[in-house]
Structure 1
Amino acid sequence: MGSTAVGIRNGLSTLKPMPNETPEPQAICNDVSRSAIFIVATIANDRDQEAKVREWCGDIAALVRAVGKRVPAGNLSCVCSFGSDAWDRLFGAPRPALLHPFRDIGEGERRALGTPGDFLLHIRAEHMDLCFELATQLLGALGDAVTVVDEVHGFRYFDMRDMVGFVDGTENPTGRAADEYTLITEDPGFEGGSYVLVQKYLHDMDGWNALSVETQERIIGRKKLSDVELDAAIKPSSSHSSLTTITENGKEVKILRDNMPFGRLGAAEFGTYFIGYARSPAPIEQMLENMFIGRPPGNYDRLLDYSRAVTGGLFFVPSATLLEELADRDPPSVTAAIETHSEPSSPAEPRHDGSLNIGSLKGISQHE
């Protein structure tokens, strides 16, 4: 092994690589936990507040260690990532080669849309109290510099089931394959980083539960009880598993999912928080295009007849090494910041106001 200056690691690595060594990644490939908190926040459009967020980047690892040390077996971790606009405002050039705003896909009710968000915190642990305490410490350190626009508390549902009753994440890569599919190796200065795309889905559980198990299985493409994939002869090409399978040069391109169910009974809110990591946004965006538009167009994912995406965001995950270094990054010039803030949005990538319009899915229109 090469020589490395080592710090205590607990969920967010603080390894300091020596020259010519690969930067240590954040805790992207950690095992699925029993609890998680997903926080999406915006950053105040103020130079002093932006400087506060930059400085905070160097404190995240220490906060994870401080909270996690109290319950070592709790496997506390945190992954911090930044959106395209926030990267330009906070750090400027150089920037990750493939980072861009979330691209809206589809139309009408069947639509994946981008919603406000400058950074994402993905906090995981075996116990919710650890997640909650870390979230409290992380946000408390930022104060008025940020505004939380979406917060979801997720939980493991029985044997890794999603809210619609099927096992989730079956095809996740593991071990070295997980690193291969998630960690960047060919973008100089950003090695060990990743891209992450998130969406909050709400489900019409009354409509879904009215379906027969056989119909549900054909929509998902797997057996509900055993999680065995349906035989190719009977699995519809519109099934969720069919449309989210991407191949390139004869090889399947995988992403790493760490989805979590969530819900509020009093609000009749039942959902799944989708989170996918990959070394490029392209395969996740292709999956969404297949789902929302169809492959071919019109042959869309029938799960969307019972599920609606109400948020969407694309973020870059710097390596743990780079995350700490960003605390000392010189701010972009005032001229560059003004140009960034004044650039009009592309028609293909519309921006949305701060309202996420999230609510119950009772009464969502159904497709026959």
Structure 2
Amino acid sequence: MVVLIQEVLREPAKAAVFLVLAVRPGSEDTARALLEDVAGLTRAVGFRAPDDQLSCVVGIGASAWSRLYRAPAPRELHPFRALSGAKHSAPATHGDLLFHFRARRLDLCFELARQVMARLAGHVKVLDEVQGFKYFDERDLLGFVDGTENPTGSKAVAAITVGDEDPAYAGSSYVVVQKYLHDLDAWQALPVAEQERVIGREKISDFELSDADKPANSHVAATTIVDPDGTERQIVRENMAFGSPGAAEFGTYFIGYAATPDVIERMLHRMFVGEPPGNHDRILDFSTAVTGSLFFVPTAEFLEDPSPAPTRTTPATNTADGSLGIGSLRRSRT
């Protein structure tokens, strides 16, 4: 028997739709049935334009897990933990289900989201919906390249994949989402050199500033997590720009995948509280978090057939051609 992994790792998408939903009481069977069929819906919509790489990743929140499944909860699944620093806060917002639709074209994401919501009509409440886009050469609306430090290859697989620490759910992942709104007027009033000190990178070249020039409260410094043994912990970001010029709303939808939520939680603590306390990430002086949710990303096999008890699987491996192979990657049982 084999385990099929959700398509967490893909080439950078050009468009995305993010849906965070609450399942209405009594609608658990409908929601679970949709999750069992979501891979088929994705194939049906994506078949029209296979080169545009439509995919869908589903996450399940802590409060929804016991309502949807008889299986024990994943070891590290819990509600998002709000953070309050001396100046900035990261709110916790509810979410039972997360749908992360990605493609090279927004219309494919839109159509798959439409099909999912048609199946769930009357059974869920939409808590948040964001249509995201890639901005010029992989930049966010602040003008800096986003996702430069994403790991690749086997390092990316290791960064996002649950292993033997929770053998019943090996091959799964965790994901944190936050919606940030930017004060672009205040940001654009800063000289470029000062913007670079806030981020910790050069704006045009994307090169990281030297340790001597990079402030301790820069975004790069705050989000670099290093264990006591010197190991740098990594996550995979799939952030997207979003906005409405008519409403003067401009933002970044942060979405980070990891093998354990602890890595992202440590990162957020450094950003909002600071290490030492008070040394918050300066990007927060221009970007305000308005949502925050944590979800578990089970294997596609579990979504399609959750009735068998989860069993241990072997760690991920790269495909023979060196590509990640997530989505077609299969793992043997031990």
Task: Give the TM-score normalised by the residue count of structure 1.
Answer: 0.82
Between stretches 217-226 and 52-61, larger displacement belongs to 52-61
Q: Which runs of 5+ in 1 are unaligned?
A: 1-17, 331-368
Establish whether residue 291 from structure 1 lines up as the match of residue 281 from structure 2. Answer: no
2:199 to 217, 220, 223: 220
Instruction: Indicate conservation of the 8 Å contact 1:34/1:156, yes or no.
Output: yes
Structure 1, residues 196-225: CA drift from partner, whole Å, max 9, x if none?
A: 000000000000000000110000000000
Name the CA distance, whole Å, in 1 between partners of 2:129 and 2:288. 17
Shift >3 Å, 4+ stretches: none
SS at match of 1:58: helix
Q: Give the aligned partner of residue 300 of structure 1.
A: 280
Name the aligned partner's letter for residue 241 of structure 1.
V
SS at match of 1:196: strand
Establish whether residue 247 from structure 1 lines up as the match of residue 226 from structure 2. Answer: yes
Establish whether residue 325 from structure 1 lines up as the match of residue 296 from structure 2. Answer: no
Q: Give the aligned partner of residue 7 of structure 2.
A: 27
Deviation at 1:268, TM superposition (A): 0.5
Q: Give the aligned partner of residue 264 of structure 1.
A: 244
- Evaluate the alpha carbon distance shift between residue 35 and residue 110 of structure 1 in structure 2; reply closer, same or farther with a 3 A threshold: same
Name the aligned partner's letter for residue 215 of structure 2.
P
Structure 1, residues 31-85: CA drift from partner, whole Å, max 9, x if none?
A: 1110000000000012xx1111111121011100000000111100000010000
Instruction: Indicate conservation of the 8 Å contact 2:180/2:288, yes or no.
Output: yes
Name the aligned partner's letter for residue 243 of structure 1.
A
Structure 1, residues 172-212: CA drift from partner, whole Å, max 9, x if none?
A: 01111111010111212211100000000000000000000
Q: Which runs of 5+ in 2 are unaligned?
A: 310-334
Instruction: Indicate conservation of the 8 Å contact 1:67/1:134, yes or no.
Output: yes
Name the CA distance, whole Å, in 2 between partners of 1:129 and 1:102. 31
1:43 to 7, 17, 23: 23
1:73 to 51, 54, 57: 51
Instruction: Indicate conservation of the 8 Å contact 1:109/1:308, yes or no.
Output: no
Name the CA distance, whole Å, in 1 between partners of 2:4 and 2:146. 28
Name the CA distance, whole Å, in 2 between partners of 1:81 and 1:273. 16
Name the CA distance, whole Å, in 1 between partners of 2:66 and 2:143. 41
SS at match of 1:181: helix
Name the aligned partner's letter for residue 230 of structure 1.
L
Name the CA distance, whole Å, in 2 between partners of 1:74 and 1:133. 13
RMSD: 1.3
Instruction: Indicate conservation of the 8 Å contact 2:62/2:77, yes or no.
Output: yes
Name the aligned partner's letter for residue 94 of structure 1.
P
Name the CA distance, whole Å, in 1 between partners of 2:66 and 2:44. 30
Q: Give the aligned partner of residue 343 of structure 1.
A: none
Name the CA distance, whole Å, in 1 between partners of 2:36 and 2:96. 18
Name the CA distance, whole Å, in 2 between partners of 1:107 and 1:311. 16
Structure 1, residues 208-266: CA drift from partner, whole Å, max 9, x if none?
A: 00000011000000000000000101110000000100012211100000000000011
Instruction: Indicate conservation of the 8 Å contact 2:85/2:277, yes or no.
Output: no
Task: Give the TM-score normalised by the residue count of structure 2.
Answer: 0.90
Deviation at 1:329, TM superposition (A): 7.2
Name the CA distance, whole Å, in 2 between partners of 1:242 and 1:147. 38
Q: Give the aligned partner of residue 189 of structure 2.
A: 210
Deviation at 1:109, TM superposition (A): 6.0
Establish whether residue 63 from structure 1 lines up as the match of residue 41 from structure 2. Answer: yes
Q: Give the aligned partner of residue 5 of structure 1.
A: none
Percent identity of paired positions between Structure 1 and Structure 2: 52
Name the CA distance, whole Å, in 2 between partners of 1:101 and 1:108. 23
* Length, aligned pairs only: 307
Deviation at 1:108, TM superposition (A): 7.2
Q: Give the aligned partner of residue 95 of structure 2.
A: 117
The structure, 1 or 2, with the larger RCO (C-alpha pairs under 8 Å, 6+ apart) is: 2
Establish whether residue 229 from structure 1 lines up as the match of residue 169 from structure 2. Answer: no
Name the CA distance, whole Å, in 1 between partners of 2:192 and 2:44. 47
SS at match of 1:59: helix
Matches within 5 A, 1:335-346: none
1:177 to 155, 165, 168: 155
Name the CA distance, whole Å, in 2 between partners of 1:255 and 1:181. 6
Q: Give the aligned partner of residue 238 of structure 1.
A: 217
